[in-house]
Structure 1
Amino acid sequence: MTSFYERAILPRLLTCACGSPAIMRQRARLVPQAHGRVLELGVGGGLNLAFYDPSRVDYVTGIDPSPQLRNRASAAPRSPNLRVAIEAGEAEALPFADHSFDSVVCTFTLCSVRDPAAALAEARRVLAPGGDFYFCEHGLSPEPGVARWQTRLDPLWSRLAGGCHLNRPVADSITAAGFRLGSVEKAYLPKTPRFAGWNEWGAAQTKLSRAPNSG
């Protein structure tokens, strides 16, 4: 059973924190690139929905394990021409067939899933060959001093922030999951504490299936 804090307070805190001006600018950069059949991992309060381009997207399926956040996502602003379905689910065990999506969008989600490697493996599984994985995540700083503080603060931060972790690597984890990284940008978010502000964003691709040899 979830606590009152998890049911009533945490969803509002997460929506507020994840809706900061710096983070919303990152969403506005990344999300419009999604195309075709789109899966959003950890749709949360639906803050990305306003940024999808209906002329590029067939539909968006957003999953999240939190009923409170799913309710917020269902009411979140979006284009009236955007087809959206909000469903219960966890990134580590997606309830979809192989190759079901052309794009997977993952923003500020890998920090809080129980098993990032499993979530990334599932994202690869449901993407069509040549599909795109769009990500924008905070994580482990490349600066040793900042990284040490992230590790020190992580146990307390995780308890207060719904399982969010400060010190998970981003691009390296995506590469280790078998994706081919395309363009990746990295920087500290402005007006954000450095221990929580290291951000990596960009796109990665699944490998195209090889055509069978002829002759």
Structure 2
Amino acid sequence: MGLANWYEEHVVPRLIKCACSSPAIMHLREKVVPLASGAVFEIGCGGGINQQLYDTSRITSYAGLDPSTKGLEFARAEAAKRGWQADMRQGFGEDIPFASESFDTVVCTFTLCSVGSQAQTLRELRRILKPGGRLLYAEHGRAPDQNVRKWQGRIEPVWKRMAGGCHLTRPVTSAIAEGGFDTHEAGERYAPKTPRWAGWMEWGEAIKTG
């Protein structure tokens, strides 16, 4: 295993687990994850960070997907500790290995920034949702202020290499709407105590249309 592969497989999952459990980010997770109900699918489930936030009385089944072997180890260990019966698989959001219209709720937190194709991943999330199913999301992305966006564009090439392909400049709610969802409930703000180039957050609930 080369140094780059070792970094991606062993260091990046730990960095992400640490960064993505900061107080500001956990506050946003707490806004959306407990709303999940029925048959639930979580994309980017590696690390198991969201598992503590689910209301298990509302959930009939739980499945997840993550590309990271180490991230899935963390998530499966967390599920075992909580006694969850969870179907967590290794894979990518552009080709989700679950049948169409299988889930009532999809949970997507701080994941759309790092998938290879945001548009294709959203198509797959829409595919696996039942008609009228919900996408619960909390993500960081492209800031509304031009001066912040300039810094995001400058920092992003280096940031992607350090942070597992994480993009700073991707739109969030507008991209979800373009992916065939009704984003009727959404929030947005800069996260406190976070550099603005990394701190623009959007979250909400979107319904599968059509």
TM-score, normalised by the number of residues in structure 1:
0.93
CA distance in 1, matches of 2:81, 2:185: 28
Name the residue aligned to 1:156.
158
In the TM superposition, residue 62 of structure 1 has moved relative to its aligned partner by 1.1
Judge conservation of contact 1:54–1:81 (CA < 8 Å) in 2: no
Letter of the structure 1 residue corresponding to residue 124 of structure 2:
E
Distance 1:39 1:77, change over 3 A: closer
Judge conservation of contact 2:79–2:85 (CA < 8 Å) in 1: no
In the alignment of these two chains, the number of paired residues is 208
CA distance in 2, matches of 1:56, 1:81: 16
Identify which of 34, 42, 49 aligns with 1:40.
42
Three-state SS of the structure 2 residue aligned to 1:85 is strand
**What are the within-5 Å matches in structure 2 for residues 1-215 of structure 1?**
3-76=5-78, 80=82, 82-207=84-209
Three-state SS of the structure 2 residue aligned to 1:150 is helix
In the TM superposition, residue 80 of structure 1 has moved relative to its aligned partner by 3.9
**RMSD of equivalent CA atoms:** 1.5
Letter of the structure 2 residue corresponding to residue 65 of structure 1:
P
Choose 1 or 2 for highest CA Rg. 1
Structure with the largest fraction of helix: 2
* Offset from partner CA, 1:114-161 (integer Å, 9 cap, x none): 000000000010000000000000000000000111011110000000
CA distance in 2, matches of 1:59, 1:161: 31
Three-state SS of the structure 1 residue aligned to 2:206 is strand
In the TM superposition, residue 81 of structure 1 has moved relative to its aligned partner by 6.1
Three-state SS of the structure 2 residue aligned to 1:92 is coil
Q: State percent identity of aligned pairs.
A: 48
Uncovered stretches (5+) of structure 1, i.e. residues with no partner? 209-215
Judge conservation of contact 2:191–2:201 (CA < 8 Å) in 1: yes
CA distance in 2, matches of 1:155, 1:13: 18
Distance 1:79 1:9, change over 3 A: closer
CA distance in 1, matches of 2:83, 2:89: 19
* Offset from partner CA, 1:43-65 (integer Å, 9 cap, x none): 12010011111111011101101
Letter of the structure 1 residue corresponding to residue 155 of structure 2:
L
* Offset from partner CA, 1:14-64 (integer Å, 9 cap, x none): 110011111111111110000100000111201001111111101110110
CA distance in 2, matches of 1:6, 1:168: 22
Name the residue aligned to 1:212.
none
CA distance in 2, matches of 1:81, 1:32: 18
CA distance in 2, matches of 1:187, 1:156: 24
Uncovered stretches (5+) of structure 2, i.e. residues with no partner? none
CA distance in 1, matches of 2:34, 2:157: 34
In the TM superposition, residue 77 of structure 1 has moved relative to its aligned partner by 6.2
CA distance in 1, matches of 2:80, 2:184: 28
